[in-house]
Amino acid sequence: MKEIYSTTVPLRWGDMDQIGHVNNTVYFRCFEQARVEWIDLFPAEIDNNPAYVVIVHTECSFLKELKAPGVVEIKVFAGEAGRSSLVQTYEMRRTDAPDILVATGSAKMVWLSPITGRSTPIPDRFKSALDSGE
């Protein structure tokens, strides 16, 4: 798999649960943040295709406990691409301990037509980015 994006997300005190570690839902929000930032790099105006993304499956493997404060880096990788779908995988590490993998995850994205509400081929702007490794 090839890395297509990377971003950092700050961990906040409010992200922790009553046990004192970052709540499991925050991991998914961090992956979502990276995914949305990547999608936003390719606005519909590039190829005049208004197709949008929905998530049909997502998962996370929690490998290490996280505590706030801190910052995590999320690396995004392009996985299997279909006609209208792309699987992204994610790696999460604290920026102050970059050699320690904290979590891994994935999301299967499907592009939909706003007119029909049905799946539609991946827009060219994303195909081009995937082919070039952006």
- What are the structure tokens assigned to 44, written together? 């519909």
Q: Which residue has the tokens 């301990």?
A: 97
According to DSSP H, which parts of the chain are helical?
A: 24-40, 124-132
Write down the pTM of the prediction.
Answer: 0.94
Identify the CATH number of the domain in which residue 56 sits: 3.10.129.10
How many domains would you assign to the chain?
1
At residue 42, does pLDDT exceed 70? yes
Alpha-carbon distance of 14 to 112, in angstroms, equals 34
Question: What is the domain extent for residue 113?
Answer: 2-132
At residue 122, does pLDDT exceed 70? yes
Q: What is the pLDDT of residues 106-118, one digit of tens each?
A: 999 999 999 999 9
Burial class (CB in 10 A: 0-12, 13-18, 19+), 92: buried
